[in-house]
Amino acid sequence: MIDNITYDGSVRGHRRAEHRLRARVRTVAEAYALLAPSLAGFLLFLVAPIFGVAALSLFDWNLMGAPSFVGLDNYRELAADPEVWRAVLNTIYYVVLNIPAQTVLALLLALALNRRMRGGKALRVVFVLPWMAMPVALGIIWSWVFDPRYGVVNQVLGTVGIDGPNWLTDPAWAMPVIASVNVWQYTGYTMLILLAGLQAIPHTLYEAAAIDGTTPVQRFFTITLPLLRPSLFFVLVTNTIGSFQIFDTVFVMTQGGPGGATDVLNFHIYQQGFQLFRSGYASALAMVLFALILLVTAAQFLYFRKRTVYDFS
């Protein structure tokens, strides 16, 4: 209390510093208090498992008894396992069926919607409707749509005299059918992100280019595509990461069949880890999937970094 009536500068300064320090300590304490629940969840359920899986991949453990350390044996085994290579190739095949089709379709729709038009807003909502569907329910619906006898697809093909294949039991067709679920589900979502990117391109650029006598096709390749690259990059990276993790539709529609034709990495990991209880081996496989995703993402970053025009606003 005495300090309050002391007009000596040094004491006052000292008080002020102490006050500031106390306020700072309180802010930091408050910040960590606000952060505490999310941080606890983050460390326990995300960070610990990530380190845990790397450690587990060096053990042989059927979830009973004691785990035994085997070094890199799991990795040696998976490198020599033809089923693993098939699963890797199947996963890549799925991504390749998926991403280009979805991106090109989305881009075409976005270009068509990128103008003032009646019903444009309602159309956007309609195109995003597939995005929220439950993949498990879609798996059921697609199994019906592609049923060789009772499905819509073969009924339609029948009306024009084509005898449709047994889609999901035909090794050549099963994967494209599964990929079509994902293309259907995410094209509208991708379209919306690309549309936002298109709308951010200044209109004056097109007007100037039109005055210079360019054709619409030239304008697409010299203005639209280069300036859309940040949005394209975003959808390609995030959709590719998502596609590598395909599981639900395979689980519902084919269980990896016929004859392993749709046995993708995620499904293979699930079987090894939770049906055969080979937790160490499944962990090593999970590390392989993670590495594969990192590799592809890094490649996309390198490719786009060279060619992307950033920051045009």
Nearer to other proteins, 148 or 260 (CB): 148
From 8-16, 29-37, 69-77, 85-93, give the range in contact with other proteins by CB under 8 A: 29-37
From 5-13, 51-59, 170-178, 303-311, give the range in contact with other proteins by CB under 8 A: 51-59
Give, in order, the Cα–Cα distances in Å from 210 to each of 78, 198, 229.
57, 17, 21
Give, in order, the Cα–Cα distances in Å from 241 to each of 69, 236, 263, 267.
31, 8, 18, 16
Closest CA to 227 of 311, 117, 108: 311
CB of 45 to other proteins, least distance (A): 4
Nearer to other proteins, 11 or 156 (CB): 156
Q: Which long-range contacts (CB under 8 A, 24 or more apart) does 265-272 make?
A: 265/87, 265/88, 265/90, 265/91, 265/289, 265/292, 266/91, 267/87, 268/83, 268/84, 268/87
Give, in order, the Cα–Cα distances in Å from 16 to each of 7, 12, 23, 28.
13, 6, 10, 18
- Convert residues 182-221 into a mask of x (bound to other proteins by CB under 8 A) and - (unbound): --x---xx--xxxxxx--x-----x---x-----x-----
Residue type at position 97: L
Give dist(CA 216, CA 268) in Å, integer: 47
Contact set for other proteins, span 251-270 (CB under 8 A): 251-252, 266, 269-270
Nearer to other proteins, 31 or 162 (CB): 31
Question: Considering only residues 245, 259, 299, 301, which one is a binding residue for other proteins as defined by CB under 8 A?
Answer: 245
Contact set for other proteins, span 265-304 (CB under 8 A): 266, 269-270, 273-274, 279, 282-283, 286-287, 289-290, 293-294, 297
Question: Considering only residues 80, 132, 211, 302, which one is a binding residue for other proteins as defined by CB under 8 A?
Answer: 132
Contact set for other proteins, span 68-107 (CB under 8 A): none
Contact set for other proteins, span 7-26 (CB under 8 A): none
